[in-house]
Structure formats: C-alpha cells, structure tokens
Structure 1
Amino acid sequence: MKSYLLYLFFFLIVIPVGKVFSQEKDIQITQTKKFTVYHANDGGNIVLNLKATYYSKGDTFTVFKDDQRMFGLSSPLNLREFRDSITHSLNNTSFTNEFFSEYSLNEIFLWLYLFRVDDKEPNIGFLNLGTITNHDENNSSARVFLLDSMRNIINHQRTVFSNNKKAVVSLLNQYKSKIGDSNKESSDKVLINNFLQKFHDEPFPKLDSAALYTIGQKNKKTSPENNLLKVSSPAYEAARKNVSDANDALRVMNIFPIEKVSIQFERGYIERIQAWVRNRTGGTDIYENTFAIGFSSINNLKAFQRTKLFMRKSSQIGFNSCIFLSDVIGNYDNLLDLYTRDYSPADTVINFAYPEEMPLISLKKERNIRLFDGKIFTDLGGIDQESPNGLVQVEICRRFNLNTYRWQAGERQDVGAFSYLNVYGALSKIEDKNKVLPLHNQNTVINNTLVSPSYTTNLDLRRYENFSMGVDLNALLYDFPDMKFTAYLDFGIRYGHVVLGDTIRNIVGGIVAPGKDTSFSGHTVTLMLPRISVEIFQERRVGLVMSYNYNHTYAFTNNQFKQIMSYKKSDLNNIVTERAARNSHQLELLLRVETSEKNNGQIFFRSRFFWQQGDANTFFSQIQVGYAYNIIYRNN
C-alpha cells in the first residue's frame, strides 16, 4: 500500500504545469502603408504614404509622411491624442483647416495599434468601446444613427478646438522665448506662464482677451507673436463655444458620456461589466449586467443591441434607468482562425478602460490551450484491502460551450438552454487489487439442469468498474448571481467496463461440481435522467458543487449473468431482470480549492453515495481526495 501512496504523491508533485520565463526584447519595427483619408464635410480625400516605427524599449511610435516626421506617440496609445496630432499635422502641411473622417483616422490608429509587440498571447480580436449613451429603453436603428451622428459631431468640434488650443499654446511659448529678464518684461513672463498653466490644467479654458492684449504693452513692444495671438483668440473662443454648444445639445437629448468601463471575461461569457456614465447633476452612475452575457458566437454579438445594463440603484425608489450593451461595446472586431467557431477571448479582467482615451482594447486567446481538465486521486475506501474502491484513479474531462445566450428571468436572474456539452473518461482501478467482480449463483438444479443464473447487483457493476466514459448535455441552466449560485439540469449517457469472474459449473448426479474459474468483460450503459446540480460561487479560490443523479443502467451480458436489485430481496433463481434492478440514485458533493492564481491546479475533495432503487440498504460510498490540473497544448 505504501508504494501506491508514493505513486500518487509523485503525480501530485510532478504533473502541475510549471512557469515559463522569457527575457524582455528590444525590438524596432518599421512599416509603410498607403491610406486614403476622406474629409468629413465635403467628401474629398487625400492619399497618405505613411511610414511608422515602433520602438519596444521606449514603447514609442514615430509617424512619417513622405519621409518627413509628422508626430510621435507614447504607449498606451490615446485615440484623442492621435486624432489631434494627425489632424494638426495634416492641416499644418497643407495650410488648411480640414476635419477628417473618423473611420479613416481609426484605420490608421488600428494600424499603429497592431505594431505593439506582445510575446505572451496572440490576439483574438479588438474590442471597440463606445463613448456616449442615452437612457432610451427601446433600441432602434434611428437611435443608433442618432448616437453615431452626435458622436461624429462632438469629435469634430473637439478636434477643431484642440488644434486651436495647440496653436495658442505654441504662440505663447514662442513669445515667452523672446522675453528678456528685465524688470519691465518680467510681468509679461508671469502673465504668459499663468496662461500656459491654465491651458495645461483645464480641458476647455477661457481666453482672457483683455489680459492677452496687455502682453508687451508695458515696455511698448509690439511683436508678430502678439499680433498672431490676437488673431488666434477669436478662432479659439469660437471653437470653444462650439464644443460647449455641442455638449449642451447632448445634455438636452439625454445623451451622456461613458467615463470608464470594466469587463470580466470568463468561460466564454461576460461575467461582469460595469460602465460609469455621467448624469445630469455632473456625477456618475454605474450601470452593470444582471446576468452572464454570452461572448462566443456571432449570435451573441448581435444580441448586444437587445441586452440592457441597469443602474446600480434601487428600482423600488424609482431608479429604473438602463442603457444598452451595444452603447458600451460598440463593436468587436474578431480575428478569424482555422477550425473554430468560438470567438471568446482568454479568461481576463479589464479594469477602468477609458473610452475617450483608448477605445480599442486588444483581447487575447489562450497561448496555452486547455485540452482537458485532469484529475488524479485516491479513494480512501481503497485503503481497505477488502474494498474494491480504486486506490489510484485518473479522470479527464472537457467542457464545450454550445449555446451561450441567456434570457433574463425576473429582475436579477437568468436562464439558459443547451449551454454546454461535458465529455469525460476515467480509469478507476490502476492497481491489481480486487479488479475482478465475482459472480454468484444459487446452484439450483432441476432435472439434472442448472436453472439458476449467475448474478450480481446493479451497484456492484458500478463499484467494480475499471474504465468509464460519458457525455452530459445541459438542458437548462438557472443563474442567480446575487445568491452566488448556478443550478443545472443535465441529461447524460455513460459507458462502463468491468471485469467479471465466474466458475464453470458441471452437473454430476444432480449436484453442481465447481470447475475452472473464468473471467470476461462486462459492459454497462447508464442513462442519467436527469442530473441536477447546484454550483456555489462564494469566491474564486473555493468552490462547492452538489449534485443528484437518477441512473438507469443497462448491463450487456451475452446472457452470461443477471443484473439484480439486491442480494437479500431479489428472486435469485428467476432469469428475468427485475424492473427496479436497473435504477439507482447518486448524491455527490465536490469541494475544490485553487492552489495557483492562474487556475492551473486545484486540490479537491469528492464524496459520493449510491443507493439502489427498491432497496435503500443496498448502497456504497466513495470518498476521494486528489489534485485537479490542466492538460494543455503550448501554442508557440
């Protein structure tokens, strides 16, 4: 027995997946590409031959047009900063004041975004976050068009304002560089510094024309920069007023900015999403999902326009406001891959993404593909030399998501149907102890003929199994996040293999004379109609699953033995199988504890109790302790 325990200990120590360490690389990437950039107002366009260089060491980007430097950016990329920089650069080059199509600029931005080197996991798609929303409870194509139009208008006005703001700051710096150190000129320098500080601290600062006019007046100096400032100030104030008017129009139409977003992706679902939305009073309200949202199929993505996020305030006192998920996640640009129809990313959490600054989020797929979930364990009952329970057992399983769409039930519950398919297999007896199930016989002889069949109980067929495999199909799912549990109704089919031992019986003078011992394979098919389970999600590190199975087992015997209900209550001489002999019940309790932050390993405790339909005193139990781990394929 000690050797078996050492064998189990070896598996528990060796099998868990180790960590892979890689050195940081210093990489420079340069690419060239031609873009057609359209004007936002007149439908015209310009053709840009751009070259961009990414430096991984400093995490910076430099963009060139026709080999002339246009602008530089630092990571993480900021979409608003990029729009302002490229618009300002293009207008300075051509001496125009054009505003360019948001789609055209986003195409260049995405090109830069893809430069960034990430050695960990490959991309599976890009999440486009929305920047504004309203509280209309009915979504429609007209509503979507309104939000898109207002988004383009506000982006246009902000870009024009940003260019004017940059022009004023540039002229102030030019004038400051020419001011001397005399006492007469020191007041001008203080005034300019105050302007510059105000422009740095405030997003939309007012330009005091009277104070601007006094620059250079004390020492009777007139400078070109001073005159240009006076020319620029009306354009700046006009742009600032346009932005203010656009923001007022948004408030009148109950359209408010989305300040930030947090998302939790898990097992093909958006388990949690939170959006902070500005309200009428200037504060923010949190909107969140009330149930897990499928994120693995095209139909899931289409359903975003029908899925509501609700305000985190009590509806019982009048807070019934909601927004649509499609406002928060504007689009998902999934990348195509071979041999897959699942577009969900790796399990990950994104906290505090700011749509105005960085609306594009790169989602990753697992570099290490989880092929199966493995378990190696011992049944404590197997320590007893007389018990057939396996001392060393191995089990693998794989869960496949099918229909990840959920329907809301009540205020904060949801239901699903045909959500997953669970496939599993197990080696239940690796050691040689008690591997053969002995058959019994009443040895009843009539007219010199053995008329009693060999037999064994339905539960012994299960208890002596050495190999099994099966599949469970989810029929219904009920999720109650506030109570931290999910209930499942599954139907399954299970194959079991068992080695049976019998004796060749010879009839001599009306008496049974035992002959040679023999063994052969027995096969069972069990229908689980149904399997009901409840999973408790108290916290990530500890989980609890309770389940009940009603099992209907068919034994395929080649007429070599009979499947009975009970050694005490069954008719052991009758060759007809009792109706209740095929039916049994199973209760299971599974407790798991994670041993790593990456969810690569778990210690688990599992207790099972089986009893026979028609005779509850025919029963057996299993108490199992082991280690669960991931069997992975390392995708390089």
Structure 2
Amino acid sequence: MKDLTFLKTVSLFFILLPFQSFSQNAETHFFGSFVINNQTFNYEYKLTSNQISSLKIEKITSVADPDTVKIKNNLIVVNKKIDENYAQWLIPNDSLKKIKTGLDQIIKSIPAGIRSIQLSNSEIDMVCKKLKSSIDLLKPDTLNKQKIVEIESLIANLNQVKNTGVEIISPDNEARFAAFTPETIKSILDGKLRNKFSIQLNEAQLNDLSQQIFYEISTRKKFVDDQPSTAFLRLRSDKINTYFENVKIKKSPGITIKQFLDSLKKIAPALENNFYMRGFFDQRQLMRDGQQSRRKNKKDSPEQNIALAMKCKEIDLEFDAGTIKNIEATFEMMVNKQLQTVKFRNNMPISITNKFTPEKLWNHKIYAANPGMLPQNYLIKQSLPDGVELDSAGNTHYDLFFRLGDLITYDIILANYREDYSPKDIVVKLSGQQSVIELKKQERSKILTVKTYTDFNGLNSEQPNGLVQLEASMSVNLRTERSQSILGLKSKRNYEGFFTKADLTGHLSKIEENNKYLPLSEKDTVSPSMNNGQKQFTLNALDLYKYKNTGIDFNLNLYKVNFARIMSNLQFSGAFGIWRTGVADSLFVKNNSYIKGTTRNQRMITSTAATLSAAYEFMPEERYSFKVCVSNTWLNVRNPEIILNQNLKNQIRTLSFEGYLNLNTDNTSKLFFRWKLNTQAGDSRINFNQVQLGYLVDVFKTSK
C-alpha cells in the first residue's frame, strides 16, 4: 500500500507540474474566415491588455497574377540590359549607382505570391531621368542611333510598368475600437467590404455576417479549454507562383574588354593622358582582344528559376513530434483549355517548435511529385520575360517547386513560460473554403503517459520479475530540425536529426509482496574483518536490476535517421537513472563473525545507472509498430554495505523486442508487448527474461 501511495503522489506531481507553466495571455489573438460570393476572406482579431480591440480583413483570392509576374520579369530584363551596356551607353558611375539602387528597390517591391504590390513611381521616374540624360550624351554622335533606340525602349518599358494600375493596399488596414458590439463589427465590415474590396451587401446579408463574426469571436474569448492554443495556421493565398528550377536559357554575349575600353575613351579621351590611367590602359591592352570581362553578376547566370502562377486547391499537413512531417498540396491550372492537376510534397519534416518558425517557412521548397505531366517547355516559353530565350540544348524536364511561406503562415500565440510552439500530433487540411485552423497543444491529461505491464513470468511464484509493473513518462521535443543526409552524407529519401527529444520515465514494480526483496545470505558476505567489523555483501549487477522496486530515468535521443522508403528508423540513445532495490537479510555481526538472527532486516539500496542503446523501429502505419533494441547499462552502487562482484563486470546487457497495437483512432488505448533478455556482462550464463503485456492507461481522463 505504501508503494501505491508513493505512485499516486509521484503521478500527481507530474500531472500538476505542467499547470504551473500556463497563464492567461496578455493579448487575445486569433483568426477566422468567412465566404462571400464564392470569395474567401480571413479576419484577424486582437484584444490588448487595455481592452482595445482591432479587426483586420484580407481576401485570400486576390493575389499577384501572371501579369504581375511578367512585370517583375521585364524589370529584371531592364536591369540586366543596363548591366551589359552601361559603358556603351555612356552612363556615368554616379548615375549608374542610382539607377541600380532604384531598380533593385522596385524589383524587391514585387515579391512572388504577395496579394498586393505597391510600386514606387518616384523611383521609376528617377531611373527614366537618368537614362534620358545618357541619351543626351549619345546624340552628338550619329553612330549611336541604335543605342539611343535601345535606351528609349527601356524607358517605354519602365513607363508601362508605372502605369500598370496594380492594386495598392495600405499595410496597416486594421480597424481599432473600444466597444465590442455587433453594431461595431457591422460598421467595420460594411466599410472594409465596400471601400477595399468593392463588395456591396444588403442590410440582411450585412446583419447575418456581422452577427456570425461577433458571436464566433465572443464564444472563443470566453471558452476555457484543456488544450491551450499554440498557433493559427492560415492559407496566405490560394494562387501563388510556383517555379521551374534551374531552367537553362541562352546566355547573353556579355561585354568584351575592347568594347569597354572603346566606350571609356569616348566618355573621357583625356584619361589616356593621365599618368595613372595610362598604366591601366597599358596593362589591359596586353590582354587578348575579345576576352570576356570577369565581372560576375548573378542575373547573368545561364540558369534561372522561371515563375508559373498556379492555384492551390487544397493542402494537407501532418504535424508530428514538433514538425510538419508530411505535406501534400494539390495545385490546378488550365493548359490549352484543359485542367491540369499537380501534387506537391515535402521530402523531410519541417521544424515548427520555436518562435522563429514563421520566418523559416520561406526557406522551405516543396517540390512537385509529378512535374512531367505538364508541357514544361511550352509553359516556360510563355513565362519567359521579353528578350530571354530558352536554351534548346537544355533539359526537357525541370523540377517544379513552391516556397511554403508563399502559401501558408504559422502565427504563434505567445504565453508565459512557453518555448515550444508546436501543436499536438494532428492532420489538418487548408483550402479556399477552410483557410484558417486553430492549432492546440496536447491535452494536459495526456502530458503524462502511464502504462501498466503484467509479467507472465511473474505469475510463477519463484520468479521475482514482478507481477504488475507501472511506467509513467513525459516526453519533450528538443532539436526538431532535420537534414536530408545520413551521418552528413547527402540523401534524397532519408533524413536525420540529433538530440531530437528527451523523456523522463518513472518505474514502479514489485507491487505484490511475493519476492519483493532480494534475499542476502551468508554466501554473499564479505568478512567483517575486512570492513571494520561491518556487514558487507557482494552482489551481481543483474541481481540488483532484477529486484528493482522503483526508479527514475532521464533518456536523451542522441541520433535518429529515418528511412522513408522502408518505413523504419534507426536511433541511438543515452540514459541516466537512479534505481532503488529492496534487499533483506537476518544476519548480524558478532566478534567479526556472521550470526543468523530471527529478525529480518528489510531496506532499500540506491544505485545509479548509465545506459547506451540502439533501436531499429518499423512504423508502417498508425495502428501498429514494433522495434528491436540492444542496450548496455553500467551500474554503480551508492551504499557502502553492497559491493559488486569483482569477478564480473558492473554491466547489464539487454536484447528486447517491443511492439504496440493501437485500439482506437485517438491514441488513448494501446496494447503493448515486450520481451527482454537481460544478461550479466562477463558471464552470459547469468541471465533472466521478461515477457510482458502492457496497456496504456489514461488515468487522468475527465468524464464529459
């Protein structure tokens, strides 16, 4: 009964501990969505600590279209032509610097996948002005007529971009208010929909929509959940740019040294008479005419990523152990009046545990599983900017990808003492009709996992393995980043991680009275004369493990590699534990001799254990799994009356086979099977085995 009381106390401590780490957020913050005329809108609601509310509305289906992509590509061509011809066009260095800075700012203002763009007309005017001044320098020489035509073409191109009429939306479109009422929501909706999106609703429609949003927000503000919210997953837009990767294009001829020098002479002939410039010309003239300039520019690369706008029909995401383990996105587009479907998926899990997750999503490329279904050359040629041609000698098949940050956002919810912003293991779906999902942490009742085992060998009264054993454990995700490699060697289909998680596990066995204590006899003793007249016993490490009553272990996963093709993984772990073993004897020392008494002395022996293990696990599906594990444990006894047998090693070697069967869909009921062969290092004849059947117990589940 004392052990059962101890178990309840420890279990209560573990389950109450997480409650101390949660507190009310200083700011209420969540997202929702609604549909009008087959168009999906997201809304974002905030309530600050001083009770000021704000409401922000965005339309996810109004995104940058192929025309916007074409604009950006044309600007890149302008930038490239200036790089190639600035010397021939007599553009001074100070003007060149301003032109380059202006163009870079304009191009950067049109990122792929953004719902609205804001072009800087003042920057465009400045670039055009600088180019016109170059025309003035070229006009005196009639041989420059073709160059002037080329510059005028670029100016016309820039003016066309300036007058494109791209939708401009202020980045700060939040409506702030103090009185949270249906009338306030109605007024905000009416203004935003009419002024920003040109949508006019009648009075009945406006009332229904405002009431829907008001009561949805009110309910979520008042709802207290056992599962704290950790993030909102949002569909950023349902139409984004995908990219053909490393498309080979025809490389421009570039500028020769001779052309550069000729242009330089035309700009400032007097430079040749300058002492320093004379040395410059002398050195360059020694170079072979026609040699290409070594000036490198990333935009001159013969390989480019070519944008292709596509619509996302839906995206499925599987969250597992602090990562987005699997992504499957379905995209659609019309090609030659036929609807084409392309599937995209990730090759390895994506970490989402820390607060930097939202920014990191932009770094992840999600590749198409079947890009060959599309007429690639046709689509690439349609998407190429003016003046750029596809290299006919290039590939006929290119990888197609999109950036995850273009499609979704992961908005974390701040809470005191929270460092892990990943949700519980779950599968979700985003689409145009369901564009926002609230992600939650694991239920507090499931933070502590309790398993109960029955040892079949323990049914035999002569076997001391323990009839009933309990294990309570908590798991924490640590470093959830993965890399597509095996021990640093690149691998397309496999991925690895270091220090992925840690577990804290408590053990309780020997609940029944039978063979609860390790019996110590005179044959195990050490002469009292060798121990200052005190009792001392020599034991094997395996005996202390065999009669272990309680223990606590800290387990750290050191390395894990997943083999996706064969649905398995290999992992190496280390552990440190403190064990308590019950021992009993009826001996006492008198005159440096052992005498057997009538009173049985029962007590606990403390040991520390360090373990290294390797496991190979098969995980074909969610309903069952099994693994093979080998481990080596080093034992150190902390009580002076017990010493380990000097003729044997202080090590225990274990071979185990483990498996589980999931009995329902919510993972609250599992059946476990475990077989262990435990061997004393130094003498394999000293061993014992355990055959155990276990069950996952939800001891803290609350009734509904």
- For normalisation by structure 2, the TM-score amounts to 0.55
- Supply the AA of the counterpart residue of 1:618: I
**Does the CA-based 8 Å contact 1:266-1:347 persist in structure 2?**
yes
Compute the displacement of 1:483 (Å).
1.4
Counterpart residue number, 2:187: 65
Paired-residue identity, % = 21
Distance in 2 between residues matched to 1:86 and 1:340, nearest whole Å: 37
Contact (CA 8 Å) 1:270, 1:292: kept in 2 or not?
A: yes
Q: 2: CA distance between counterparts of 1:47 and 1:474? A: 45
Q: Which residue of 2 aligns with 1:129?
A: 235
Structure 1 residue 46: deviation in Å? 9.6
- Give 1:313 deviation, angstroms: 3.6
1:592 Cα shift? 1.0
Distance in 2 of aligned mates of 1:434 and 1:36: 68
Task: Provide, for residues 303-356 of structure 1, a one-character-per-residue CA deviation record: whole Å limited to 9, x for no partner.
Answer: 322222222249999563332222232x211111233211112332223x224x
Quick check: 2:475–2:503 contact (8 Å CA) kept in 1?
Answer: yes
Of residues 328, 341, 366, the one that matches 1:284 is 341
> 3-state SS of the aligned residue for 1:520?
strand
Q: Does 1:322 align with 2:401?
A: yes
Whole-angstrom CA distance in 1 between matches of 2:244 and 2:475: 38
- Write the letter of the residue equivalent to 1:457: N
CA distance change for structure 1 residues 436 and 64 in 2, over 3 Å: closer, same or farther? closer
- Residue number in structure 2 paired with 1:610: 678
2:365 equivalent to 1:308: yes
* Counterpart for residue 616 of structure 2: 534
Q: CA deviation at 1:563?
A: 1.4
Aligned residue for 2:649, secondary structure, equals helix
Paired letter, 1:550: N
Per-residue displacement from partner, 1:100-130 (whole Å, max 9, x unpaired)?
xxxxxxxx99989746658875543221224
Rate the CA distance shift 1:631–1:86 in 2: closer, same or farther, 3 A: farther
Q: What residue is the counterpart of 1:343 in the other structure?
A: 421
Q: Quote the offset at 1:446 in angstroms.
A: 11
Task: Using the TM superposition, give the Cα deviation of residue 593 of structure 1 relative to its aligned residue in structure 2, in angstroms.
Answer: 1.2
Contact map agreement 1:368 1:635 (CA 8 A) in 2: no
Q: Give the whole-Å Cα distance in 2 for the aligned partners of 1:383 and 1:42.
A: 74
In 2 relative to 1, CA 374–444 (structure 1 residues): closer, same or farther, beyond 3 Å? closer
In the alignment, does 2:533 pair up with 1:427? no
- Counterpart Cα distance in 2 of 1:349 and 1:525: 41
Residue 256 of structure 1 and its aligned partner are, at CA, apart by: 2.3
Specify the code of the residue in structure 1 equivalent to 2:243.
H
Aligned: 1:459 with 2:527: no
**Partner Cα distance (2:550, 2:171) in 1:** 71
Alignment pair present for 1:264 and 2:315: no
Contact 1:376 1:392 in 2 (8 A): yes
Q: Distance in 1 between matches of 2:687 and 2:400?
A: 55
Please say if residues 291 and 408 of structure 1, whose CA atoms lie closer than 8 Å, have aligned partners that are also in contact: yes
Q: Quick one: structure 1 residues 629 and 290, their matched pair in 2 at CA, closer, same or farther if it must change by over 3 Å?
A: farther
Q: Does 1:514 align with 2:596?
A: yes
Distance 2:185 2:533 in 1: 94
Partner SS state of residue 460, structure 1: helix
Structure 2: distance between partners of 1:327 and 1:334: 17
Change (3 A) 1:112 1:476: farther
Name the structure where strand makes up a greater proportion of residues: 1
After the TM superposition, which residues 491-502 of structure 1 pair with which residues of structure 2 at under 5 Å, given as runs?
A: 491-502=574-585
- The root-mean-square deviation of aligned C-alpha atoms, in Å, is 4.3
How far, CA to CA, are the matches of 2:596 and 2:451 in structure 1?
42
Q: By how many angstroms is 1:512 displaced?
A: 5.5
Report SS of the residue matched to 1:376.
Answer: strand
Q: Which runs of 5+ in 1 are unaligned?
A: 1-29, 55-60, 72-81, 94-107, 139-250, 565-576
Report the AA paired with residue 350 of structure 2: I
Residue type at the aligned position of 1:479:
N
Using the alignment, how far apart are the partners of 2:175 and 2:502 within structure 1?
A: 51
**For 2:479 and 2:561, how far apart are their aligned partners in 1?**
14
- State how 1:194-593 maps to structure 2 within 5 Å: 253-278=307-332, 281=335, 282-313=339-370, 318=397, 320-329=399-408, 331-351=409-429, 353-355=430-432, 357-409=433-485, 410-442=491-523, 454-506=537-589, 513-516=595-598, 517-528=600-611, 530-558=612-640, 560-564=641-645, 577-578=646-647, 580-593=648-661
Query: What is the one-letter code of the residue matched to 2:407?
Result: V
Letter in 1 for 2:502: L
Counterpart CA distance in 1 for 2:396 and 2:615 is: 36
CA distance in 2, matches of 1:399, 1:320: 39
Q: How far does residue 63 in structure 1 lie from its aligned partner after superposition?
A: 5.8
Distance apart, 1:540 and its partner CA: 0.8
SS in 2 for 1:585: strand
